[in-house]
Structure 1
Amino acid sequence: MADWDVLVAGGGNAALCAAIAAARQGRRVLVVEAAPKFYRGGNTRHTRNMRCAHDEATSTLTGPYSEDEFFEDLMRVTDGNTDEALSRMMIAKSKPMLGWIQQQGVRFQPSLGGTISLGRTNSFFLGGGRSMLNALYRTAEGLGVEIRYEHEVIGLDIRERRFHAATVRSRDGEEVIRAAAFVAACGGFQADIDWLKQGWGEKAENFLIRGTPYNRGTVTRMLIDSGVMQIGDASQCHAVAIDARAPRYDGGIITRLDCVVLGVVVNTAAERFYDEGEDIWPKRYAIWGRLVANQPDQKAFIIFDAPNIPRFMPSLYPPISAPSLRELASKLELDPDVFERTINEFNSAVIDGKPFDTNAKDGNTTEGLAINKTNWAQRIETPPYYAYPVRPGITFTYLGVKVDHDARMVMADGAPSDNLFAAGEIMAGNVLGQGYAAGIGMTIGAVFGRIAGEEAARHVA
């Protein structure tokens, strides 16, 4: 006889949505979280919002966001590298998710100032990710879900497409836990630098990990080794440009920088290397981690001037400033002559005259440069001048396990598993073959978490 109806591995948004959904069906649910209680929740601790389709404006959303528009945005950021049928299903189920997750105690607020272009598409959590997470934990525990912290899954007994038990290690030793159904919702492997190197090589040594050091992908490895189908590759991930002064782990949302569209980005050779105005920021901010990763020393600098300081959310760390471009270059340890030439050439190429608007492509561009800035081009000419040093910040990886529309894991031979389910970052690669749009990670976790919990409960029945 099983010890539990449903065993959930993980402690973030996806895991809690699965646990709550199963518990609401009357099932006995155990959640095992590898991290200590303070660090519970993985990347959910650092989130601010989630992206859901909706038909009209609300008290916290400024307008409608249709399923078709959501799907078009997803296709654009992934360049079509997604399971279209699965993604359309997720988007359709994101509409009722706004109501369902509020029923679990989560509250929303209007878009935060400085969060460029998100007020219509994304719902912001009142109090941020930790507040959202705390609400889900309160609801889960109120439904009788048992939570065990510092309990790491180190072994899985999977035979003939069926989960039988998990070996879990805690301070008290090792324990075998049997369950009628298993939900893997324990994140990616971004904290395993050696695994990242399989996709990125030695560059990964310079990557910063935005979340905790507990997401090492041990369950992902065990599932694949046990015959579950792998999707994705080790080089695909949600990677953004974050403040280079952030700690190696757990810097979180406060180290992210949203000011790229307001200036220019140069590498350590003081040269620009990509169009900073390619598209609306929430649809393109996640390309900058990969871009910086391919620059010398995996480092770059965002450069802007005084009028842009109030237009974005700053990092935890203050920008580096100077009264002249040459002095700024010296502080950044860049060649002053090359740096000054890069900025002056950019300024001379700016063709402006249209209203400056960060909520839409404004057509203010440059002409004649090897790499033109196609929107939001404005001269960097008003001192003081500012810079943020940035490095690649890895949020989560896309290599994971294949699932079907019921969040059921698919085996390597294409057959569905019997009682294995997955939600969140561990299966995000089904939707995100590459690229990212702001808030979609939370959508994947919540939608597939709810499905996984309900389907696991149905399997037990």
Structure 2
Amino acid sequence: MSSIGPDGIQWDLVVVGGGNAALCAAITAAEAGARVVVLESAPKTYRGGNSRHTRNFRCMHRGPLSVLTDEYSEDEYFEDLLRVTKGKTDENLARLVIRTSEECLPWMEDHGVRFQPSLSGTLSLSRTNAFFLGGGKALVNAYYNTAEDLGVQVHYDADVRHVGIDANRFTHVEVNLEGKTTRVAGKAVVLSSGGFQGDIDWLADAWGPAARNFLIRGTPYNKGVVLRDMLDQGANSVGDPTQCHAVAIDGRAPKFDGGIVTRLDCVPFSIVVNQDGARFYDEGEDVWPKRYAIWGRLVAAQPEQVAYSVIDSKSFDLFMPSVFRPEKAETLEELAGILNLPKDAFLQTVDDFNKGCRDGDFHPTELDGLATTNVEPAKTNWARPIDAPPYYAYQLRPGVTFTYLGLQVDETARVSHSDGQYENVWAAGEIMAGSILGEGYLAGFGMTIGTVFGRIAGKEAAAHVG
């Protein structure tokens, strides 16, 4: 084996991963004086993990802050999290993330990230989420520029295969680089290599054969190799392997790496039917940012893991457009044929739904209480008849962003094992997010977890080696 760096240098900090959490750790440690190397498994063109597909950061604030309006308190933020996770969260860690998010936004701006006002459409997040100018790719590029200015050494196509642990202490990683196995030694390590969603076999082991029909909207380079290696060596795990950030995306999206543009925001203004032409859940349960992440699992439970979101011309301009054009028909009968749905069953579903709609005020950007009556399942908001041609439909499939099975950490981001804690191993980002996200998801919260714990891990690791 050979070593990265002159004369077999032992780095102060080895950062495994190249996304938001990894870069926040690397920058923080480098600013504290540590010699840092970042090992990114993707090629340079695809650097940044899932972070390059993101577009916003959920942030607590006690008054207007940067592009954020009004206030978003710790308690309200935590209640939002409890609602989507159904209470499956570590309150101590969750509140740590929420409280610290307020100081993160200025830090992000100080390190090259630029923000813009909330996007229009159904999101309505101007109070809770700060949107990146240029999206996640711009954020990733800004952080890489900052890291390199600080002297952080970055290696791409660096596929870490093993984390060396001796007597509960990190010693080195083994990485496939330029066709050979290379040993990279360090005084400390931050593991930020994401979940295992890129490994379809692992997904199928957890979910069953249905997982082979899932689409992976995030990076294909997160295969969970480092996660599995650490678990095999006795690291404590958190989270359920069947829980993940999974949304309903356009069924025409690529198998991997479709990103944010494949997401569909039309569900609240539609009826969603499965291949039998039947509805199966309340499309108007809550505002979309608090409910979009449940729809991946809902669709995953349907036959062939497929569903269809059906709207009429009244709703066509109410949501962010998809990268793909919808199917279009002048009649519902014609639409059923295009979608290969059982015509009679589909038409009966639409008719029953329409009869259950009632008069009332429709408000697309807020809960309006415009609900159906005598329809199962009910639609509790934005329920308007599907009766104005032309009619449109989008195919839905589960799109997995990241999995929640991960490494257990404490409030200092240090990784634990059965007998205590590793002396010099920290984790940040998706690889430890299962501590906070037991299930469900809040828009922008993954970036918040990664930013907060990335900075914590970098600070703690630098203090350890200093």
Q: TM-score, normalised by structure 2?
A: 0.97
Q: Following superposition of structure 1 onto structure 2, how do residues 160-175 of structure 1 map, counting pairs within 5 Å?
A: 160-175=167-182
1:315-353 deviation digits (Å, cap 9, x = unpaired): 110011101111011000011211111111101101231
| d(CA) in 2 for partners of 1:63, 1:341 | 45
* Map of 1:393 onto structure 2: 399
8 Å contact kept, 2:274–2:302 = yes
| d(CA) in 1 for partners of 2:221, 2:308 | 29
1:440 aligned residue (418, 441, 445) = 445
Is residue 298 from structure 1 mapped to residue 305 from structure 2 by the alignment? yes
| d(CA) in 1 for partners of 2:330, 2:16 | 53
| d(CA) in 1 for partners of 2:83, 2:204 | 27
Is residue 229 from structure 1 mapped to residue 225 from structure 2 by the alignment? no
8 Å contact kept, 1:198–1:234 = no
The alpha carbon displacement at 1:62 in A equals: 2.7
- What SS is found at the alignment partner of 1:97? helix
8 Å contact kept, 1:230–1:412 = no
Give the paired residue count: 459
1:68-92 deviation digits (Å, cap 9, x = unpaired): 1110001111001000111111111
| d(CA) in 2 for partners of 1:108, 1:229 | 37
- What SS is found at the alignment partner of 2:316? helix
The alpha carbon displacement at 1:293 in A equals: 0.2
Q: Following superposition of structure 1 onto structure 2, how do residues 47-446 of structure 1 map, counting pairs within 5 Å?
A: 47-354=54-361, 356-413=362-419, 415-446=420-451
| d(CA) in 1 for partners of 2:233, 2:264 | 40
8 Å contact kept, 1:425–1:445 = yes
- What SS is found at the alignment partner of 1:94? helix
- What SS is found at the alignment partner of 1:4? coil
| d(CA) in 2 for partners of 1:24, 1:333 | 58
The alpha carbon displacement at 1:37 in A equals: 0.5
Q: TM-score, normalised by structure 1?
A: 0.98
Is residue 449 from structure 1 mapped to residue 454 from structure 2 by the alignment? yes
| d(CA) in 2 for partners of 1:323, 1:75 | 43
CA 1:53–1:76 in structure 2 vs 1: closer, same or farther (change >3 Å)? same
* Map of 2:3 onto structure 1: none
| d(CA) in 1 for partners of 2:177, 2:286 | 47
8 Å contact kept, 1:280–1:358 = no
**C-alpha RMSD of matched pairs (Å):** 1.1
| d(CA) in 2 for partners of 1:117, 1:286 | 16
CA 1:59–1:457 in structure 2 vs 1: closer, same or farther (change >3 Å)? closer
Gaps of 5+ in 1: none
8 Å contact kept, 2:122–2:288 = no
| d(CA) in 2 for partners of 1:263, 1:199 | 31
8 Å contact kept, 1:117–1:358 = no
8 Å contact kept, 2:118–2:124 = no
8 Å contact kept, 2:122–2:365 = no
1:196-253 deviation digits (Å, cap 9, x = unpaired): 1122100001000001211100000111112210111210000000000001001100
| d(CA) in 2 for partners of 1:386, 1:310 | 12
- What SS is found at the alignment partner of 2:154? strand
The alpha carbon displacement at 1:449 in A equals: 0.4
Q: Which is worse superposed, 337-346 or 179-188? A: 337-346
The sequence identity of aligned pairs, in percent, is 57
Q: Which amino acid aligns with 2:442?
A: A
The alpha carbon displacement at 1:115 in A equals: 4.4
The alpha carbon displacement at 1:114 in A equals: 1.5
The alpha carbon displacement at 1:172 in A equals: 4.2
| d(CA) in 1 for partners of 2:88, 2:298 | 19
The alpha carbon displacement at 1:99 in A equals: 0.6
Q: Which amino acid aligns with 1:370?
A: E
Runs (4+) off by over 4 Å:
none
The alpha carbon displacement at 1:120 in A equals: 1.2
| d(CA) in 2 for partners of 1:189, 1:416 | 23
Is residue 460 from structure 1 mapped to residue 437 from structure 2 by the alignment? no
Gaps of 5+ in 2: 1-7
The alpha carbon displacement at 1:361 in A equals: 1.5
- What SS is found at the alignment partner of 2:97? helix
The alpha carbon displacement at 1:64 in A equals: 1.0
8 Å contact kept, 2:122–2:364 = no
* Map of 1:44 onto structure 2: 51
